[in-house]
Amino acid sequence: MNEKARDIVYRSKLFRGLTKEEADGLFNLHIGFKKEYRKDEIVIAPGEAFDYIGVILSGEMDVVRIFENGTQYQVHQLDRGDLIGMDTIGRGKDLNLFFHIAKTDMVVFLMPVSVVMQEGKIPEKHRVKMLECILDILVYENLRQHQKLDLLSVPNMRDRIYRYLSYQQAKQKKKIFEIPFNREQMADYLCVNRSALSRELSNMEKDGIIKYHMNKFELLE
């Protein structure tokens, strides 16, 4: 793995507790490998065992829920430096409900879960640091899921949109901020009709509540 790819892995949340020297030592133990995925390729399917933790080195991935009638909604979108496989750790394959699909061509660094879950694979002090990072990541993911439930509990579409945009503004700490979704993905994420979403965004701008262009937004209230 070249230096640029290593740097992306170093900066990921999984390795945040390690120094560069410690991480280099782990790579010398050959703890993982790179894998390429083509656009629209399924990386993880519902009910499929995935015994790896992955760091996206390039490309983007969508996490979606697809129902038997063909309807789907966007759960999450991941890009370079983000982790995959965290939501399946210790849960068993039958509890995985989501499709993880390559949105673009992707390159991913994959590390077997056993590296951190089993003693003796790597130095114990490094394993403990990585387990602490995993715990922090899972706490964050739990908060993110609660945020999604909070959004979906809002029955009024305008209020739901505004609350989502408020979350994004607070997260990015910018007056003008960019959301990670196009209109179709945003509609899926908020569980609303795409046409109705577009109309409501236009009405909110006319009413002086927001300003937007494509996926860049500004809250005026």
Residue 122 near residue 14 (C-beta atoms within 8 A)? no
Helices (H), the chain: 3-10, 20-27, 114-117, 124-152, 157-172, 183-190, 194-206
Q: Where are the beta strands (DSSP E) in 59-136?
A: 61-66, 72-78, 83-84, 99-102, 106-112
The pLDDT of residue 68 is 79
Average pLDDT, 10 consecutive residues per value, the chain (221 residues)? 86 88 87 95 88 94 85 83 80 70 96 91 93 89 85 94 95 93 89 94 97 95 73
Q: Give CA–CA dist 1/32, Å, rounded.
A: 10
Task: Report the residue count for the chain.
Answer: 221
For residue 13, what is the DSSP state? G
In a 13 Å sphere around the CA of 79, the CA atoms on its Cβ side amount to 2
- pTM, two decimals, is 0.74
The pLDDT of residue 90 is 58
Domains contained in the chain, CATH given = 3-150 (2.60.120.10), 156-219 (1.10.10.10)
